[in-house]
Chains A and B, each alone.
Chain A
Amino acid sequence: MPTGLEPFVPAAGDPWDAAKAAHLLRRAGFGPLPEDVAAAAAAGPDRAVDRLFAFPPEPPMPSIFGDAVGAEREADLALEGILARRERPKDHPELRPLYEEVNRAHQRAIGALTAWWLDRMAHSPAPLQEKLTLFWHGHFTSSFGDVHDAMAMYYQNALFRRDAAGNFARLVDGVARDPAMLRYLNNDQNRKGHPNENWARELMELFTLGIGHYTETDVRESARAWTGWTLRDYRTFEGRRSFAFKPQLHDAGQKTFLGQTGAWDGADVMRIILATPAAPRWIAGKLARFFVAPEPPDSLVDALAAEVTARNYELKPVLRSLFRSRAFYQPAVMHAQVKSPAEFVVGAVRQLGVRQPDWTRLSGAMALMGQHLFFPPTVAGWDGGKRWMNAGTVFARSDVAAGLITGRLGTPDLGGLSSPDAAAARLLGRPLPAARRAVLAQPGLGPDAVAHLVMTLPEYQVA
């Protein structure tokens, strides 16, 4: 029985063409340009897919955290002085403005970090790496609203980028030690005798297994195993929080977890989880829903899960088979995903050739569209799909398109948009249905209005 994961084989009636190349680049990136599509079409499916994985070296950390680190140092010094004198912080109202400045500095930094990341999505030589970073941000969620530390959010983002198509087991391990996650799911407060189950539960429910593959007892036993996986008491000299295992907080007793008994700690729990058949299927399903279709066929997910197992959780070959698969190029799959606000905004900036985009206002507009980067709405991330679109978000998208076209949100290059056909080719990568083309060809609509209408159309909201 074919599963859909078999490689797509070009044939006379079903060639590797610009439409398939554009589909690949839309799903694996953001708003491909006609020249990118032409290059991928000419390269053939194997090379086009391989090129997606040419990830550049890690980008340098943006210099946006100086104020936050400085404000923290000042506040901490004042606090330490008070504590050293054995006085109570609550009797020192002068501390309050210091910590308020810490909060404000982190707020500014998270805004700058969002702008930095959006710019990277738009200009990275490896859009797939940023697309996967976005995928992991929605999978292993942490929100600045709870973490309150912009630098920790940066390091989590860097972790997702570094292991974007790496080994899933290594990624889970990195996330388990990630300061933003330790804070977000409170494992920093999980200690022997006073377990906090938040991380232990979400690790299984949302990150690795899904509901139904463990019991409440497994959650409690897992939480015991994760005790002592916490944050170091002091920041590094650079102001970075880091992971620490504190044996004195760890419950070293016997636990029975997913049917296995031993003096488990967190690493054992991860090993046991990843050895269950539900684990490869969970991540395979999540990847298929993100990259292929909202409801991928079971046979495809099963085949992909088998690939995850066979490759020992190495994701690059798994993703490669997915992008090469027959299922990926089915007509029912193409144009069947709703663009996320990130895809919409970053893609629009790219396709309109916008120089110096106002990322701050664009990220604010993305929040109105339902995707506030670094502030996922729940630990389950963004629902995505049809949920992106409602009366408010439709107009928010249309207004951003207008802002980009008229130059209010950056300086566009509208040269390639002189006619409805040119606008469709550049913005949609395919012709419009005749009925809609006729509407856009009416006299009285200037090229700017045509571009604005195309970007408001349902055809532009799908990838």
Chain B
Amino acid sequence: MRDMMTRREFLAKGLTIVSAGVTAPMFLTRTALALNNPWDQQLAAQASGRPDWPVLVVVQLGGGNDGLNTIVPWVHDEYYRARPRLAVPQGAVLRLNDEVGLNPVLKPLKALFDDGRVSIVQGVGYPNPNRSHFRSMEIWQTADPTGNGPRTGWLGRLFDSECPDCGQTAGITLSPEMPLAMQGTGGRVVAFDTPERFGFHPLAGGGAAEQEALRQLLQPVPGDEPMVDFLTHTEMNAVVAASDIRRIAGKLSGDTGTGYPRDPFSQKLRIVAGLIAADAPTRVYYVSLGGFDTHAAQEGRQDRLLATLGAGLAAFVADLKQKRLDDRVLTMTFSEFGRRVAENASAGTDHGTAAPMLLIGGPAAAGVHGTQPSLTDLDMGDLKFGIDFRSVYATVLERWMGVKSEPILGGQFPILDVIKPHAGTVARV
């Protein structure tokens, strides 16, 4: 059986159709847009070499990760007084400087930090913090603390404004549900658990024949109504996207990555590395690790989750380095909030506010940035934020993705020195 048409072949065929003058107004528009679109031009130029655009991997820590037991302020007595049971002992902290250090379960990240690949942004939050999981996650994902803006995600708006007619896989979420952060109005994002499951599913028993029939059915027919013609191309694109993903998935099975742990989070990062290495046309990958809502018996639970996070990220960076992709990929972690400074009666912590974010990879400007929020000057028992999370987003958008952040974030936010200057342009060279 002949292989599915590749995206390039499809693009080429599209151009042929245009030059042949077949009446297909919708598709004409699409193609004209595509030709003027920088991302699609990159796609078209792809034949001559490897893709070179910057890639962002967003890691969402769901439930509210306790920042103080992640990046531990070991020098402050107030930390130990507030957390008689939960504080990480001074002697165990993996010191990053003379104020803070890593929780020892994050040992793999310490090695990356020493290697100059981890940027820690301290005290990140936003004004009038909301302590509801749902609302605060929505605020982080829409980048809109007021709730009055469009209910689209900041990454979705990136796809809308920077690639209005780019392919169907500008963003990939490694879970069946699409987070609000990735949702724009254009819908050029796909979500799947396993790349092998994404695509057209023939009925049991009808397999190859039905798949082949669909490919033949999606050939444009001269005289199709404009909307049917548009949908034929959309569906063909989808089949091509799925075929891309499956082809890439095929490469994945031969490439197991180096030393990823068996847990689902690490395995998703393995798939992401594989997709990038297989030249997927994707700009942003979204991976979640949940369960950080540690109201009770925090220590064992958070330790296990942080260990999973650290080991997974370290394996991911090692794999990218081995694939010579380390300078093309920036990984950013965030959580909807940190947790209360004082531990509660159940050896846990309640919903809090500001917390650190991590930027990891070759592009990260290594070091500890921002200041540790005061542990005594609190807002209802919670840390006061020092850096607005939208400043971190703006920095990622401007310095890494190479786009204007203001239209996407609905305002201007200070650019931070948390990413190496020109990292994004270096990636594009």
Residues of A within 8 A of B (CB): 198, 332, 335-338, 368, 370, 377-378, 383, 386-387, 389-395, 398-399, 402, 405-406, 433, 435-436, 439-440, 442, 444-446, 448-449, 452-453, 456-459, 461-462
Contact = CB atoms under 8 A, between A and B. Distances in A.
A394 B187 contact: no
Contact of B185 (A387, A395, A402): A387
Interface in B234-253: 234-235, 237-238, 241-242
Given A392-B189, A394-B235, A439-B217, A462 B202 contact: no
B391 to A, nearest CB: 25
A39 B206 CA distance: 36
Max chain B C-beta neighbours (<10 A), residue from A338, A368, A383, A445: A445
**Which 6 interchain pairs have the tightest Cβ spacing?**
A458-B231, A391-B168, A390-B187, A391-B238, A449-B206, A394-B238
Contacts of B229: 458
B161 to A, nearest CB: 16
A439 B206 contact: no
B150 interface: yes
B413 to A, nearest CB: 23
Contacts of B217: 436, 439-440, 453, 457
Interface string B138-159: 0000000000101110000000
Given A386-B230, A398-B201, A449-B209, A391 B214 contact: no
Contacts of A459: 228
Contacts of A440: 213, 217
Interface string B219-233: 101011111111110
B47 interface: no
A114 to B, nearest CB: 17
B296 to A, nearest CB: 12
Nearest to A390: B187
Nearest to A393: B187
Contacts of B232: 458
B187 A445 contact: no
Given A439-B216, A445-B209, A391 B231 contact: no
Contacts, number: 124
A433 B185 contact: no
A406 B204 contact: yes
Main secondary structure of the interface of B (DSSP, over half): loop
Contact of B210 (A378, A433, A449): A449
Nearest to A334: B225
B132 to A, nearest CB: 11
B191 interface: yes
Nearest to B192: A392
Contacts of B231: 338, 389, 458, 461-462
Contacts of B230: 386
B429 to A, nearest CB: 30
Given A449-B213, A462-B227, 9 more contacts: A391-B169, A392-B187, A392-B191, A395-B200, A395-B201, A398-B201, A436-B221, A446-B205, A458-B232
A405 to B, nearest CB: 7
A435 B185 CA distance: 34
B173 to A, nearest CB: 10
Nearest to A399: B201
B62 interface: no
A358 B272 CA distance: 34
B221 A433 contact: yes
Contacts of A445: 206, 209-210, 213
14 contacts: A387-B185, A391-B237, A394-B234, A406-B203, A439-B213, A439-B217, A440-B217, A446-B206, A452-B202, A457-B217, A457-B235, A458-B218, A458-B232, A462-B228
B187 A335 contact: no
Contacts of B168: 390-391
How many B residues touch the partner, as a band? 35 or more
A392 B197 CA distance: 12
Contacts of A444: 209
B113 interface: no
A336 B214 contact: no
B31 to A, nearest CB: 15
Nearest to A145: B134
Interface in B148-197: 148, 150-152, 168-169, 176, 178, 183, 185-191
Contacts of B213: 439-440, 442, 445, 449, 453
B210 A395 contact: no
A18 B191 CA distance: 41
B187 A433 contact: no
B200 to A, nearest CB: 6
A406 B204 CA distance: 9
B228 A452 contact: no
Contacts of B201: 395, 398-399, 402
Contact of B238 (A332, A336, A395): A395
B116 interface: no
Nearest to B225: A335
Contacts of B219: 435
A433 B227 contact: no
Contacts of B242: 391, 395
B227 A336 contact: yes
Nearest to A392: B190
Contacts of B205: 446
